[in-house]
A and B are shown apart, each in its own frame.
Chain A
Amino acid sequence: MGGHLNGNHLLFLGQGMLWTFGLSVIALGGGGIAGFIVALCRVSPSRWLRIASGAYVQLIQGMPLLVIMFLAYFGLAAIGVQVSPLAAVGASLTVYVSAYLGEIWRGCIRSVPRPQWEAAEGLALSRAQRMRMVILPQAVRIATPPTVGFMVQIIKNTSLASVVGFVELTRAGQIINNSLFEPFLIYSIIALVYFVLCFPISRLSHRLERRGGAARETLTPA
């Protein structure tokens, strides 16, 4: 029972919030790049690449993020590879996010109608050009809502980093609560901070959807 919530506590929470933010950036940056590669492999003309990337996705999606973090931090240490909590958490989130985003984006690429591929093919565009100029721009529009939904999920999931000793927002809240014992107040503050982090992203998604769909909305009847 260590008194009342004061400036130092808030500063501590602020630091935790910065880590939550930082981990989210690492997860979505690293996982986004790796997920993009996974998605391209999943739709590759090479059978081998499709099978390998499919197996990767299945394997990672079958594991809880918590276990991946345990493996990366304690598991690797046990076989002699010492990694910092930041490296372990960053790698775990990247791997985890890449499997999900890779699969979401594979579906978006696949959902661009087949005739669009054929039209691009008929114009003699190379496979890379078809992908870059015709398919991906259309896939991005389809991908925006599920991707943003998943981003929000990941921001909240960074709280699992506390298990390897990482003091992010949730862990910071726990520590403060251990001394103040004001769980309702403190966890309400934490919930609010998570909301403040996630809400703008949801808003952004709506705006992106509207901009991407501009041509669609000014449709004139045929």
Chain B
Amino acid sequence: MPEIAAINQKANQAGIGPATAPASPVVMLKDVHKSFGSLKVLDGVSFEVGRGEVTVIIGRSGSGKSTALRCIDRFERINSGEILVCGHRVDDPGLDLRALRQDVGIVFQSYNLFPHLTIEQNIILAPCAVKRVPKPAAKELARRVLAQVGLEDKLHAYPEQLSGGQQQRAAIARSLAMQPKVMLFDEVTSALDPELTGEVLKVIERLAADGMTMVMVTHEMGFARGIADQIVFMHRGRVHEAGPPEMLASPRTPELSQFVGAGL
């Protein structure tokens, strides 16, 4: 994308535009602290995600991995530190939340499809309401994203008529319809049995292959190893170890060693 780089450079020279250099990461957390009351959940978390990269956050329950992910989309406010997402200063109290959320797609463990709407209505809701996409174009878009997750035939079904795996794929399609620059996945297969987990992971793999920037929290270690460009191992609110997936084979710390051992 040379022309985008050039534009960014010009914008930076002119002192306008977001403070993102062309090579700057899509997501950046720097020394992020977050407490719920007296409970310290994030204790100085830093990591970066580059364009087109897949970052997988692993760690025990309660290690702060889901909270870290939710901070990226400002579902949690941080106490101190810096978060930069697609040029948005997420820690800035004056942040334009809706602009941030147009750039960031998030998929949850419990799917959270809207039960009163069909799959098609679920998908076109936000593009029509937020981006003012005309209805016919939005319906075309719905068909396309549903094909991407292999659910073309479920356009007019209600969420409750689908299996868990299908619902989660529909939820991914709903996020994709907003054409986000980065996707967040918060333990999206934790509520599914192994077979359904497989079909959801396949969809995510395809997204990664298409170059989508992603941050995901998962317990699927084999999958993490296969898909990740970067693994972030969290322990007690800190990034305990981070690196390429190969680090899982030769952990440097006893905590990761124990975690990986338990996972196998």
Chain A interface residues (CB < 8 Å from chain B): 115-116, 118-126, 129, 133-134, 137-138, 141, 215-216, 218-220, 222
Q: Which residues of B contact A126 (CB under 8 A)?
A: 98, 130
Interface pair A123/B174, CB less than 8 Å apart: yes
A124 partner, pick from B113, B126, B158, B161, beta carbons under 8 A: B126
Q: In this assembly, does B105 line the interface, its C-beta being within 8 Å of a C-beta of chain A? A: yes
Interface residues on B, range: 20 to 34
Binary contact readout B163-198 vs A (1 if CB under 8 angstroms, 0 otherwise): 110000001001100100000000000000000000
Q: Which residues of A contact B158 (CB under 8 A)?
A: 215, 218
Question: Taking the nearest CB of chain B, how far is it from the CB of A157, in angstroms?
Answer: 32
With A219-B160, A222-B163 in contact, do A125 and B105 touch (Cβ < 8 Å)? Answer: no
Q: In this assembly, does B73 line the interface, its C-beta being within 8 Å of a C-beta of chain A? A: yes
Interface pair A118/B108, CB less than 8 Å apart: yes
Q: Which residues of B contact A133 (CB under 8 A)?
A: 125, 129
With A121-B101, A122-B101 in contact, do A218 and B112 touch (Cβ < 8 Å)? Answer: no
Interface of A is mostly: helix
With A124-B126, A124-B130 in contact, do A115 and B73 touch (Cβ < 8 Å)? Answer: no
With A116-B112, A134-B114, A141-B116 in contact, do A123 and B75 touch (Cβ < 8 Å)? Answer: no
With A124-B98, A125-B130 in contact, do A116 and B161 touch (Cβ < 8 Å)? Answer: no
Q: In this assembly, does B17 line the interface, its C-beta being within 8 Å of a C-beta of chain A? A: no
Interface pair A218/B161, CB less than 8 Å apart: yes
Q: In this assembly, does B110 line the interface, its C-beta being within 8 Å of a C-beta of chain A? A: yes
Question: Taking the nearest CB of chain A, how far is it from the CB of B182, in angstroms?
Answer: 12
Q: In this assembly, does B134 line the interface, its C-beta being within 8 Å of a C-beta of chain A? A: no
Question: Taking the nearest CB of chain A, how far is it from the CB of B133, in angstroms?
Answer: 13
B139-167 residues at the A interface, CB under 8 angstroms: 158-164
Residue from A118, A126, A216 having most chain B Cβ neighbours under 10 A:
A118
Top 10 nearest A-B pairs (CB, nearest first) are A119-B112, A123-B126, A124-B101, A215-B158, A122-B106, A222-B163, A115-B112, A124-B102, A124-B98, A137-B116
Interface pair A119/B115, CB less than 8 Å apart: no
